[in-house]
Amino acid sequence: MNNKRVVIFGGTSGIGEATARLASSQGAKVVIVGRNPGRLEAALSRLPGASGKTADGTDPEAVARVFEGAPPFDHVVVCVSGGKGAGAFRELDLQAVRDAFAAKTLAQLTVIQVAARSMKSGSITLVTAASARSTIRGTAGLAAVNGALEAVVPILALELAPIRVNAVSPGIVDTPWWDGMPREQKDGFFRQASAALPVGRVGNPDEIGRAIVFLMTSGFTTGSTFVVDGGGHLAMH
Ligand SMILES: NC(=O)c1ccc[n+]([C@@H]2O[C@H](COP(=O)([O-])OP(=O)(O)OC[C@H]3O[C@@H](n4cnc5c(N)ncnc54)[C@H](OP(=O)(O)O)[C@@H]3O)[C@@H](O)[C@H]2O)c1
C-alpha cells in the first residue's frame, strides 16, 4: 500500500472510515468522500494524513470532479448506500426499494463508471451486503439491491481488466448505519443476531476494512465477492 493512492466513497463513517485508517497505516495516500461536509471534517480530524472531498455518489458530475485534476488513483473503494428497502414483501413500499436502488446500486455503478475512465490498472472494491443471499424473511428488497451489484462484479472484472473488480459482502456490522434505529431496538436486534451467528457476535468495521484492504492488495483476485458475515450465510434464515 506504500504511496498507493486510494479513494474511498463513503469513507467518512463506519466501514469506509475503518478502511481509510487501515490503508493509511500501511502507507497509502487516502482521499475520503462523502456528501456531508461536517461529517467529512469530523472524519478527517480522526484520520491524520488523509484528505477529503464532498461529492454525492448518485451525481456523475460531482463524482467526476473528485477524479478531475487529481493524479490517477490506484484503488477505488465504494461504500455508499442509503438505508431503505427492508420489510415484509407483501407490504413492502416499492418506492423505498426504488430509492434504495438509486442510493446504493446506481450510486455504486456511477462511481465505478466514472472511476474506470481514469484508471488503467489497480482495483475497484464494492461494498455490497450479505442480504444478497441470506434468505432472511423481510429482506427481499435488500437482496435485490445488493444481489444486483454482486451480479455485475464478475462482468466488470472481465470488461475493465486489467483493473481488478471485487466486492466485500458484510453481514451485520456495528456502524452509524444503524443510528436510524432507536438504541434499545438496535441493541435487542444485535443481541438476537449475535445469538444466531456461529461467531456469537456482530462484526466491527475494522474486520470489514481488513477484507477490503486484502482485495486491494491481492493482485491475483478479481471478479470475487468476499463474504464477511460471521457465518450468517450458514445460520440465519
Ligand atoms: N453496517 C452494516 O451492518 C452493513 C451490513 C451490510 C452492508 N453494509 C454496507 O456497507 C457500506 C458502508 O456502510 P456503513 O455501515 O459503513 O455505513 P455508514 O457508517 O452509514 O457510512 C456510510 C458512508 O457512505 C457515505 N454516503 C452515503 N451515501 C452517499 C452518497 N450518495 N454519496 C457519497 N457518500 C455517501 C456516508 O457519508 P454522507 O452521509 O456524508 O454522504 C458515509 O461516509 C454500505 O454500502 C452498507 O450498505 C453495511
Structural domain including 91 reads: 5-175+205-230
Which of 36, 39, 41, 81 has most ligand 1 atoms within 8 Å of its beta carbon, as the pocket-test mutant?
A: 81
229 lines ligand 1 (CB under 6 A): no
Label the pairing between strands 164-170 and 123-127: parallel
b/e sequence 100-112, b meaning 16+ C-beta within 10 Å: bbebbbbbbbbbb
**10 lies in some domain:** yes
DSSP helix/strand/coil, 24:
helix
186 lines ligand 1 (CB under 6 A): no
Tens digits of residue pLDDT in 90-130: 999 999 999 999 999 999 999 999 999 999 999 999 999 99
**115 lies in some domain:** yes
Name the strands in the sheet holding 225-228, side by side, starting at the edge strand that comes first in the sequence.
51-54, 29-34, 5-9, 75-78, 123-127, 164-170, 225-228
**192 lies in some domain:** no
**197 lies in some domain:** no
12 lines ligand 1 (CB under 6 A): yes
- pLDDT computed for residue 146 by the predictor: 98
The CA 80 to ligand 1 mean position distance, Å, reads 5
**190 lies in some domain:** no
What percent of the chain lies above the pLDDT cut of 90?
Answer: 94
Q: How many CA atoms lie within 13 A of 215 on its CB side?
A: 31
- pLDDT computed for residue 235 by the predictor: 79
Q: Is the pLDDT of residue 85 over 70?
A: yes
Three-state secondary structure readout of 66-99: HHCCCCCCCEEEECCCCCCCCCCHHHCCHHHHHH
pTM over 0.75: yes
74 lines ligand 1 (CB under 6 A): no
172 lines ligand 1 (CB under 6 A): yes
Q: What is the CATH number of the domain that holds 214?
A: 3.40.50.720
- Overall average pLDDT of the 17-27 stretch: 98
Q: Are 43 and 52 in contact (CB under 8 A)?
A: yes
- Overall average pLDDT of the 5-23 stretch: 98
CA angle 144, 176, 70 (to 5 degrees): 80
9 lines ligand 1 (CB under 6 A): yes
Q: Is the pLDDT of residue 183 over 80?
A: yes
Residue 5 in grid coordinates: 493512492
Amino acid at 235: A
**Cα(222)–Cα(158) distance, integer angstroms:** 9
CA-nearest residue, atom 2 of ligand 1: 173
**155 lies in some domain:** yes
Q: Are 206 and 174 in contact (CB under 8 A)?
A: no
- Overall average pLDDT of the 135-150 stretch: 96
**49 lies in some domain:** yes
**185 lies in some domain:** no
How many domains are contained in the chain?
1
